[in-house]
Structure 1
Amino acid sequence: MIKSLQDSTILHNGVKMPWFGLGVWKVEEGHEVKEAVKAAIKAGYRSIDTAAGYGNEEGVGKAIKESGIPREELFITTKVKNGDQGYETTLEAFETSMKKLDLEYLDLYLVHWPVKGKYKETWKAIEKLYQDGRIRAIGVSNFQIHHLEDLMVDAEIKPMVNQVEYHPRLSQLELREFCRKNDIQLEAWSPLMQGELLQHPILEEIGNKYNKTTAQVILRWDLQNEVVTIPKSVKEHRIIENANIFDFELSQDDLEKIKSLNQDRRIGPDPDNFNF
């Protein structure tokens, strides 16, 4: 059982990655993102997930500096955006991200989306950065099984993480099993389905049983399925509440009830058909 906010999974290269973190997608650059990250770190979070495409790396970097927590205790993720994919452009994009974050090294760098005809070159650049010691772990985001298989045909290094849309309406069972068999850690973005599931009667019923919110039930479900999760919030009380999930465990019956909610339904773009 994952027992605390500081508990980590061990990636296939031996690096420890916290099971739980803060995502900052759509969090405004400047004061808003800085205060959200500082609130999370103060609450005990040690993992922060941003992306070049979010436009808020600078604020994340400032929050890290102002948090007072030693850099080596934090796990920072960012991603190369689609317009920067390709070999040389990825190397340049990485340097830009590092300047904005004001960091000496990165804990995890991800290919944000599987841009057709580009993601293999992007991966080669990321492998180089990893081999040069600039990044502690590397991975992908929004890759389906066929993207991973295609990438691994030529890759020198297998991805350590695959961050995907994952929630009770999109439980990605085949992808989760593929990643498990290949020792790729699955990570959930939009685990709360942007709030769409928070009034679901089955989740409310389970929450009442444990005196927990539906959000806490969903986030606990992620962890019990061995999926790293990074819920987003800008409100300090919600950041604290989201992390209050280490004092209960869902029963097998609860897990089955939540599993039954799957509809293979996305709220984000289809990784085989996206346009940005």
Structure 2
Amino acid sequence: MTASSSVPSVTLNDGASIPQLGFGVFRVDPAETERIVGDALEVGYRHIDTAAMYRNEDGVGRAIAASGIPRDELFVTTKFPNNGSGSAADALRHSLDQLGLDRVDLYLIHWPRPKLGTALSAWQELIELQQAGLATSIGVSNYRAGDLGLIIGETGVIPAVNQIELHLEFQQRELKELHTQHGIATEAWYPLGGGEITSAPALHEVAKAHGVTPAQAILRWHLQTGNIVIPKSNRRERMAENFDVFGFELTDVELAALAAVDQGAAGRRGGDPNEL
């Protein structure tokens, strides 16, 4: 068994499959992206998550090309900024050119942009791009319950994924429950949540019980609670550590202890979709 084959897949509501553990490149220096993604692919990651707003799609593309890994063994996600600067069609074609691909496996709307009022029109554009074969699956990112209700009600097309900030201190339970009701997969960005979270006493107790690091325990929590998760690191040894989360399992008691770390809305650390 190869390292990459140990990663479970989640079946999306359109029938496609996505590796549950991937590698994110948010805030990865464009000048370092090719090396970093190349390291991640060598470690065993086959799911790479980028975005036009990260300005490092070209580095991701170069790493993919240099890896020699067959295209059908890779899952590549990128995102439409939805910032009023152009159409989704133009944005995706530019992203594909940067990535050196003829399609992406998943195309997401990066933010709902309530101030622009484009949550629905952007979704309608993505539906057309999927129909054109430029994206195998389509979804959203940072969409709130009202945004999901709007786009599903108006188009009848349910997003395959909603990628949201989700970590121990911001577990987004109500939104996750809505996802479950609609068959939307939950994908967690900022999954480790920062240094303050990794110092939580309950987390250290769980990590110690299994002889793993706090980060490994967090990632295991994500996997066992059904989240798709995309940790990032610039260091190969940390990438390997984050990938080594399949040799242990958390008990129900441990899962409950980690659930209690949640701080609700007070735990948000990233951008607020209500304000962007």
Equivalent-residue separation in structure 2 for 1:4 and 1:226 (angstroms): 18
**Which piece of structure 1 moves more, 36-45 or 234-243?**
36-45
Equivalent-residue separation in structure 1 for 2:6 and 2:274 (angstroms): 34
Q: Assess if the C-alpha contact under 8 Å between 2:19 and 2:46 holds in 1.
A: yes
CA deviation digits over 1:64-107, x for unaligned, max 9? 0011110110000000113246xx61111111111111101110
Q: CA deviation at 1:6?
A: 3.0
Equivalent-residue separation in structure 2 for 1:163 and 1:232 (angstroms): 15
Tell me which residue corresponds to 2:249: 249
Equivalent-residue separation in structure 1 for 2:215 and 2:162 (angstroms): 22
Q: Assess if the C-alpha contact under 8 Å between 1:110 and 1:141 holds in 2.
A: yes
Q: Which amino acid letter does the alignment assign opposite residue 112 of structure 1?
A: H
CA deviation digits over 1:124-148, x for unaligned, max 9? 1110110111111000000111110
Q: Assess if the C-alpha contact under 8 Å between 1:112 and 1:142 holds in 2.
A: yes
Equivalent-residue separation in structure 2 for 1:109 and 1:195 (angstroms): 30
Aligned in 2, Cα 1:101/1:120: closer, same or farther, shift over 3 Å? Answer: same
Q: Assess if the C-alpha contact under 8 Å between 2:77 and 2:105 holds in 1.
A: yes
Q: Which amino acid letter does the alignment assign opposite residue 275 of structure 2?
A: N
Q: Work out whether 1:266 is the aligned partner of 2:264.
A: no
Q: Which amino acid letter does the alignment assign opposite residue 204 of structure 2?
A: E
Q: Work out whether 1:19 is the aligned partner of 2:24.
A: no
| Structure 2 length-normalised TM | 0.94
Q: CA deviation at 1:200?
A: 2.0
Percent identity of equivalent pairs: 41
1:75-114 residue pairs with structure 2 within 5 A?
A: 75-84=75-84, 89-114=87-112
SS in 1 for 2:139: strand
Q: CA deviation at 1:150?
A: 1.2
Q: Which amino acid letter does the alignment assign opposite residue 89 of structure 2?
A: L
Q: Which amino acid letter does the alignment assign opposite residue 22 of structure 2?
A: G
Q: Assess if the C-alpha contact under 8 Å between 1:6 and 1:44 holds in 2.
A: no
**Unaligned runs of at least 5 residues, structure 1:** none
Equivalent-residue separation in structure 2 for 1:259 and 1:119 (angstroms): 31
Equivalent-residue separation in structure 2 for 1:130 and 1:257 (angstroms): 41
Q: Which amino acid letter does the alignment assign opposite residue 101 of structure 2?
A: L
Q: Assess if the C-alpha contact under 8 Å between 1:4 and 1:246 holds in 2.
A: no
Tell me which residue corresponds to 1:139: 139
Q: Which amino acid letter does the alignment assign opposite residue 268 of structure 1?
A: G
Tell me which residue corresponds to 1:230: 230
Equivalent-residue separation in structure 1 for 2:233 and 2:74 (angstroms): 19
SS in 2 for 1:143: coil
Q: Assess if the C-alpha contact under 8 Å between 1:6 and 1:46 holds in 2.
A: no
Equivalent-residue separation in structure 2 for 1:123 and 1:190 (angstroms): 24
SS in 2 for 1:195: coil
RMSD value over aligned CA atoms?
1.4
Q: Work out whether 1:10 is the aligned partner of 2:8.
A: no
**Unaligned runs of at least 5 residues, structure 2:** none
Equivalent-residue separation in structure 1 for 2:71 and 2:5 (angstroms): 20
Q: CA deviation at 1:5?
A: 4.0
CA deviation digits over 1:143-166, x for unaligned, max 9? 111110111111242100000000
Which structure 1 residue ranges, 4+ long, deviate > 2 Å from structure 2?
Answer: 3-6, 82-85
